[in-house]
Chain A
């Protein structure tokens, strides 16, 4: 298998002190630049810059694009205004989750999907039924995430005025560079052509000097997303890859909130057959060892189970997503053999950017 370099690879190679790399969607990425825990914590107090070029991105275009995306996704994107986006799932015929992502409307008959895990064959085959074209843009542009309370300040300092609202994207001209700014995830995302990627990186790094901006690797991003209560296909659960597999259902993953049951979409009958939604919850474990897939018990009675689990450096304990169909007991909860307690999601507040008009830390 050949590995791909992202447009920011040169900078990542310069900055990676530990030379720890990982592969996502075929791209080689810095797992961390220094200490993962420090990078995750930095995003909560300052700002971090991370390479997200590996995210799978496709353009969906055609006269029947609206009809197609309406059938494909579990929420109806037909009423989206251009520039706006929504989070949604796509399911197989039996109602099992094949993928999750952010769908942005880019024009009257065009959309862009950003997802962590590719599902090209499924979507392309379905698109053919509608005469809709699918163009993979993953390698055609680079993506940077700017996360943390100071993210908007960095953008401001870099001369990128007017940060986008949540779940929106817009094209901007940035001192001669054409880039797209979006706010789909934990912070802001900047998308640009590979040719100008390093210039964009350098400009942001220069603008972030006053805000302790530092690069963050993929491991830190995973921690941030997990602490913020964001489940990710491929990392936190294995999506269905068979067209008729019944699992994982949105209910079993606590993703029922991303399903509009009044909307007509592929796999809807399977969702109804799967019963009511069980909301995704969290548990804090009395220890640092993650316990994925453990049975949650209370006084010997099984209540539910944990999904994925990992250590949170900010909380100094292991945390886990969990599904518990009924009510949570106040105490005495066990995840396997480890005591734990229920926690509302997100585990920690999303490191939302401060308003650009707020005083800077330096001024305080």
Chain B
């Protein structure tokens, strides 16, 4: 196979897709708008003297086949923490720690509810069982083999995350521990099919462990670094500071891209790791993506996720254990928060997931706090929004870590970004539906093509396969 391929965006997905295509024999150019590669894994968010990624500090969905096939371990990818437990902080008692050991989880839950303690193991086993079966759909371009799994998937596609958790558990603390995960992808925890995000999370594998969260040594930026090495080793040309402004079309097939300087780069195949909305609305002439598609994309997801990073002088006791520490009082609060965020307001009680990182310098700790849900287009002006958000998050944190605010040396805030609207149908759609676009030769390979947005590179690998096959076949 030979031919020019453009990849838009040098995040992990863009770099992985470029590497696969270069290995298949294509001449690949990656166009990155920013000065450095990495996307949301790049250390771009300033926190005092530090810089951290704008995305979450832990990875949950990195495709193990990408790690293996691109030999990322050999290029230096290693993990500092391989399996972060889920910890739910409680105001009225000990934190609820849900680790991999089901016996320990049973012991932790039992004081709250004996019934939940007994049900938790079965819930997790059956969820992991279905999640493994779902890998045929979410990892491969296949289908579920067993009828009982198909029935269960159909049920979940109509079930909200809140309903699922309410139907299984009775303890507020246990249900609240899942409240943050129930808001993944900007879906409402009360919307039909939002339970699929919990299932999708259970289907992932990190460091050989199902449903694990792992922190790369050097942070997510280290992943971007090894993917860049892999791409360069494969002969990929990476151009940074090269923002794509337009895609060129001939008939309904892509023929190249125009970059901000006005240069034209011709290519018969383009993979975009940007959102579907940006790729099809901002880069294409009006209507070229289809009138219905355009109409759907005009409305972005109203609710997203933000990140606040606090540089701390002392270690708060509540965050001493390495964990994904969820701060949520009740599951019902997630639905209320979602309604507030949908209306453009900062939720009074957002769901938080905090992870403590050590800097090895002064100040010695960074508390990375992911915030869900947040309005993508807040009604408050930017300054007021930031102030209100800071106050709200710090108030929530101080309930568990008094005087935390006094220890904050500096902070960095990454507001929610516009992204594609996630639906239950998107989560269970085929890879072909998510990756192919109405424009021939144009493929999506980033979050837009993943069932649920995450640093995964799985869509990149599969999209590269589709693109390579089309290039081999030639255009009709």
| A interface residue numbers (CB < 8 A to B) | 68, 71-72, 92-93, 122, 125-126, 129-130, 242-244, 264, 266-269
Chain A residue with minimal CB distance to B293?
A93
Chain A residue with minimal CB distance to B295?
A125
- The reply to whether B252 and A125 form a contact with Cβ atoms under 8 Å apart is no
- The reply to whether A243 and B295 form a contact with Cβ atoms under 8 Å apart is yes
Query: Is B292 positioned at the interface, with any CB of A under 8 Å from its CB?
Result: yes
User: Could you tell me the distance in whole angstroms from the C-beta of B436 to the nearest C-beta in chain A?
Assistant: 10
**Cα A72 to Cα B288 with chains together (Å):** 11
- The reply to whether A268 and B287 form a contact with Cβ atoms under 8 Å apart is no
**Cα A329 to Cα B290 with chains together (Å):** 41
CB < 8 Å neighbour of A266 from B251, B290, B440: B290
**Cα A334 to Cα B296 with chains together (Å):** 45
- The reply to whether B291 and A122 form a contact with Cβ atoms under 8 Å apart is yes
- The reply to whether B438 and A269 form a contact with Cβ atoms under 8 Å apart is yes
- The reply to whether B290 and A264 form a contact with Cβ atoms under 8 Å apart is no
CB < 8 Å neighbour of A129 from B251, B294, B296: B294
- The reply to whether A71 and B251 form a contact with Cβ atoms under 8 Å apart is no
Complex interface: chain B residues within 8 A of A266 (CB): 287, 290-291
Chain A residue with minimal CB distance to B436?
A269
- The reply to whether A130 and B287 form a contact with Cβ atoms under 8 Å apart is yes
- The reply to whether B438 and A129 form a contact with Cβ atoms under 8 Å apart is no
- The reply to whether A126 and B287 form a contact with Cβ atoms under 8 Å apart is yes
Complex interface: chain A residues within 8 A of B293 (CB): 93, 243
Query: Is B286 positioned at the interface, with any CB of A under 8 Å from its CB?
Result: yes
User: Could you tell me the distance in whole angstroms from the C-beta of B276 to the nearest C-beta in chain A?
Assistant: 14
Complex interface: chain A residues within 8 A of B287 (CB): 68, 71, 126, 129-130, 266
User: Could you tell me the distance in whole angstroms from the C-beta of A65 to the nearest C-beta in chain B?
Assistant: 13
Complex interface: chain A residues within 8 A of B292 (CB): 92-93, 242-244
Interface membership of chain B positions 101-133, coded 1 if the CB is closer than 8 angstroms to chain A and 0 otherwise: 000000000000000000000000000000000
**Cα A122 to Cα B251 with chains together (Å):** 23
- The reply to whether A264 and B251 form a contact with Cβ atoms under 8 Å apart is yes
Complex interface: chain A residues within 8 A of B251 (CB): 264
Complex interface: chain B residues within 8 A of A244 (CB): 292
CB < 8 Å neighbour of B252 from A122, A242, A243, A268: A268
Q: Would you list 27 pairs from A and B whose C-beta atoms are within 8 A, ordered by A residue?
A: A68-B287, A71-B287, A92-B292, A93-B290, A93-B293, A93-B438, A122-B291, A125-B291, A125-B295, A126-B291, A126-B294, A129-B286, A129-B294, A242-B292, A243-B290, A243-B291, A243-B292, A243-B293, A244-B292, A264-B251, A266-B290, A266-B291, A267-B290, A268-B252, A269-B252, A269-B438, A269-B440
Chain A residue with minimal CB distance to B438?
A269
Interface centre among A92, A93, A122 (most CB of B within 10 A): A93
**Cα A242 to Cα B296 with chains together (Å):** 12
User: Could you tell me the distance in whole angstroms from the C-beta of A270 to the nearest C-beta in chain B?
Assistant: 9
Give chain B interface residues in 410-466, CB to chain A under 8 Å.
438, 440
Given the interface contacts A71-B287, A129-B286, A130-B286, does A264 sit within 8 Å of B252 by beta carbon?
A: yes
